[in-house]
Structure 1
Amino acid sequence: MMVVKVYVVDDSAVVRQALQHMLAGQPDIELIGSAPNPLIAMPAIQKNRPDVLLLDIEMPGMDGLTFLRQIMAGTPIPTVICSTLSAEGSKVALDALAAGAVAVMGKPKLGLKQFLDDSRREMIQTLKAAALAKPRQRSASASVMAAGHSAAKPGASHATVASGVHAFAMNKPVVLGSSTGGTQAIECVLMALPADAPGIAITQHMPEKFTAMYAQRLNGICAMNVREAKDGDRLERGVVLIAPGGLHMQLRKSAGQYFVHVLDGPPVNRHKPSVDVLFKSAAECGGHDVLGIIMTGMGDDGARGMKVLHDGGARTVAQNEETCVVFGMPKEAIKLQAVDEILPLESIARAIMKFDSRA
């Protein structure tokens, strides 16, 4: 039995004590230490490296985000953020994901001990999932630049002209699904695409209230126009639509144009939005005109949907194991023989443009 070694960095003694109590009865999780701030934590984790770091953001001496960037620039450790700053889908939480955090959990400012007792199951599952992650090394300066960089967007008149040029061009839609590690992977793909790339519909497992800010962030660093999807939005060239957290997103076709349908409903494969929901709808309306991409993520959401896409004539691509933070979703799709091509993350944007250029 694999035992997950966890180290906690949180300036609240109440949180550290509550976590110690929570994890004490778990035979497969061991709390190997804790510290009130990163300055104390650093020598301890260098001496005894944990499998997972559970990290707060607001702390004295050095904030958690700066600490996270330093870790990811050196020898990355799978890191789960647990902070009051992440509870409302804050910008800081997204900065943490962009810097390499595997997951983000919110905690309230009041009632911390009760909250940790109530969220015991979620916390334990998150820590176990994080232990399987393989975070990629990231330059500390690069993640800071990504957080603050704004890509130049065409002005309104230019955008209208560009849209007119492609208004009647064949738009071969791309559907993309990801989960753990996907926020950074999606950023990598989108930043490599030109402004007039084919429309992309994305389902990324993400909590409600995070997706709008995540889309806004991507829109600031990518040439394409990125936004959180609204029901009835048209998926056209140069546009990326992100499924809203807490809702499913489907692809529809009408009069030769593709649109998204955003709807409520029960979770599918424990997720809402679900990648399977997006993929299966794309197979129904798009057939061989669709490119399906499945990337890093825990579990198997999207695997069966990709099989439907593949069997319906769509082109299908999976991210390879070496570049995945968690090789779960792509692995399951490959097992189902639903994948035409397995590619490293850095080649996926090129695959999108290659698909777009085919006759």
Structure 2
Amino acid sequence: MSGSKMIKNKIRTLIVDDSVTIRKVIRHLLESDPRFEVVGEAAQPSEALKEIRLRNIDLITMDLHLPQKTGAALIKEYMAIRPIPTVVISSLRPEESHLVLESLENGAVDYIQKPDQKTILANRVEILDRLFQAAQAKLVLNLKHSKQEALLSQSSNALLVIGASTGGTEAIKTLLTQLGTQIPPTLIVQHIPPFFSEAFAQRLNKLFPFEVKEAKNGDKVQENRVLIAPGGFQMRLVKKGSDFFVAIEDSPPVNRHKPSVDFLFDSVRREYTGPKVAVLLTGMGADGAEGMLKLRSVGTYTIAQDEQTSVVFGMPREAIKRNAAVKVCGLHEMGAAIQQGFVSLLSPKKGQAS
């Protein structure tokens, strides 16, 4: 392979951070991996916009604390004219979680806590893999979707469970928008750092007529309530008498994730015998694929997001490869697919797809 071809295939990266020290740390990290080429640096939004106009860029790493404007506002500005896969790399306090969520809403693919030398040594491979996957991400346009008048089915004992990772915060919001005003009990695992899950749930709770909250240990699983697993903990379903609750515990990571989709899905398979629909959305890796396969084996209606509308077609692809998905569909079709799943489970004349 020629040198020019090797350079052509590298991921051309722009580093945006107002700290010279951090720019050097990120540059050193990227240049240690032959997949990346740092083509520019910017300390201010105006410099970043100039680099974006002048250069062919495949990936941007973005700090959120910038002079002139926030990184979140800058992402929104250039995404409107030239969408480029972007990973937020920033140090934030819990009360600043909204900036990460705003960045993801504006088009960022992923968030990584700003690394120091110690963090890089311990997590170098994972950080580089996340940056590499982000560079391959599809920036999905908002598509029209059908909204269900009421997803709450004829049976009050139905359950909806959802797993997501990279690109999932916006995918979850889009999916919930399709569900109408009445929904079955819903449990969600989104790979998310500690502190951000509460802000994510609060942000969603303002948008919908049903309740959306970060799950607390012992929360009851009930109609018109969405429980989101807290970052840094595992969430599982437990049965007490005729009712169901969630247990939030400091168990080890599963598939390197905490919370883990497989951890939740496995508990649902063990504990819940009623009609249930499981959905696996965009995300890198394979978390949730095995759990979904096991859920399908006990009669669950399982749905995987398609490649076209996935930001990162990792977790859904692994589920499809394992034949774990009864149905594969686009994000904008999820509401109708979930409704179809509950109808098929509750109809005495229809069984689950084989």
Q: TM-score, normalised by structure 1?
A: 0.84
Which residue in 2 is equivalent to 1:146?
none
Which residue in 1 is equivalent to 2:248?
262
CA deviation after TM superposition for structure 1 residue 308, in Å: 0.2
**Within 2, Cα distance between the matches of 1:113 and 1:59?**
22
Q: How does 1:238-249 map to 2 (within 5 A)?
A: 238-249=224-235
Structure 1 stretches lacking a partner, 5+ long: 140-165
Q: How does 1:162-311 map to 2 (within 5 A)?
A: 170-287=156-273, 289-311=275-297
2:319 and 2:325 in contact (8 A); partners too:
yes
SS at match of 2:108: coil
Which residue in 2 is equivalent to 1:22?
29
Q: Which residue, 43, 68, 82 being the options, matches 2:50?
A: 43
**Within 2, Cα distance between the matches of 1:113 and 1:88?**
25
Which residue in 2 is equivalent to 1:134?
138
Q: Residue deviations 1:187-226, cap 9 Å, x none? A: 1111222232111100110111111111111101122200
Q: Which residue, 84, 98, 102 being the options, matches 1:91?
A: 98
1:193 and 1:223 in contact (8 A); partners too:
no
Which residue in 1 is equivalent to 2:323?
337
Structure 2 stretches lacking a partner, 5+ long: 1-5, 144-151, 348-354
2:178 and 2:334 in contact (8 A); partners too:
no
Which residue in 1 is equivalent to 2:149?
none
Which residue in 2 is equivalent to 1:355?
341
2:276 and 2:342 in contact (8 A); partners too:
no
2:234 and 2:250 in contact (8 A); partners too:
yes
Distance 1:131 1:4, change over 3 A: same
2:275 and 2:342 in contact (8 A); partners too:
no
Distance 1:38 1:116, change over 3 A: farther
**Within 1, Cα distance between the matches of 2:172 and 2:306?**
14
1:15 and 1:113 in contact (8 A); partners too:
no
**Within 2, Cα distance between the matches of 1:237 and 1:338?**
26
Q: RMSD of the alignment, in Å?
A: 2.4
The letter for the 2-side match of 1:327 is F
CA deviation after TM superposition for structure 1 residue 113, in Å: 6.2
Q: Residue deviations 1:238-285, cap 9 Å, x none? A: 000001111111123344433222222111111011101111111222
The letter for the 2-side match of 1:273 is P
**Within 2, Cα distance between the matches of 1:339 and 1:197?**
22
CA deviation after TM superposition for structure 1 residue 356, in Å: 3.9
CA deviation after TM superposition for structure 1 residue 287, in Å: 4.0
Q: TM-score, normalised by structure 2?
A: 0.86
2:13 and 2:58 in contact (8 A); partners too:
yes
What count of residue pairs does the alignment treat as equivalent? 329
Q: How does 1:48-87 map to 2 (within 5 A)?
A: 48-85=55-92
- 1:328 to 2:328 alignment: no
Greater alpha carbon shift after TM alignment, 54-63 vs 205-214 = 54-63
1:287 and 1:309 in contact (8 A); partners too:
no
Distance 1:6 1:88, change over 3 A: farther
CA deviation after TM superposition for structure 1 residue 355, in Å: 3.5
Which residue in 2 is equivalent to 1:157?
none
More helix per residue: 1
2:159 and 2:274 in contact (8 A); partners too:
no
